[in-house]
Amino acid sequence: MLAIYKREMRAYFTGAIGYVFLVIFLSMGGALFSYTNLYSMKVDVSTYYLWMLIFSAVVLPMLTMKSFSEEKKAKTEQLLMTSPVSIPGMVFGKFLAAYSMFAGALLVTTLPFLIVTRYAVVPWALLLGNLIALLLVGLMFIAIGLFVSSLTENQLAAVIGTVAILAGLLGIGVINSLLPSKYWLRYVFNCLSVFTRFQTFTNGYFDLSSLIYYLSVSGIFLYLTMRVYDRRRYL
């Protein structure tokens, strides 16, 4: 797994993907911070991270689109499957590399809040809750992206497929807000909604059920990715 992790991290920085992702993510983080905090002259942690959640659904597929799709296109997929690395090791190595890129970039975007402590009071507990929530959402988004990437050799198709699934998960929260409060489907959507579970953290509460939800969905999609390669190994 470590060999795959190092290989993927090296690939991010020997190619353009890693740099493009960092430039876009950090630029958007700075722009959102300026709009939600500097422009309004107040510390607004929750709004900032809510917009970062939406933005992450669009930009994170950049990290996962090449994870398996490029292996298929370059005909190196069989080399991976016949190497001494196990399928779980291969999947987790690629997953951790993409997640390291995301987590590192996200931590950098919190630095402006450290700077404004000289001029305003930053609600650190709320900031930590939002940061943890977005890191958990990132786990799920990247796991979904890896699964979609394992299904196709076309990187553009991997991006579009991942964004479509993530948009659907976010859209559940929008639909949920439009349903009557006593409608039974609202309870189902409430359980599945990424927005609803994320907002628990943005309000300053640590929700164990949301933690289990994010970890479970991430685990399911990582398992499905492993199953895809288990089947291909014997074809």
pLDDT tens readout for residues 37-94: 877 778 888 889 989 999 999 999 988 988 888 777 766 766 666 677 788 888 999 9
User: How far, in whole angstroms, is CA 12 from its chain's centroid?
Assistant: 16
For the chain, how are helix, strand and coil distributed in percent, rounded to 5? 80, 0, 20
Tell me, yes or no, if the pTM score tops 0.75: yes
Please determine, for residue 18, whether its predicted confidence score (pLDDT) is greater than 70.
yes
Q: CB of 201 within 8 A of CB of 207?
A: yes
In angstroms and rounded to an integer, the radius of gyration of the C-alpha atoms of the chain is 19
Per-residue pLDDT for 235 more than 60?
A: no
pLDDT score at 53: 92
What is the CA angle 165-47-64, rounded to 5? 30
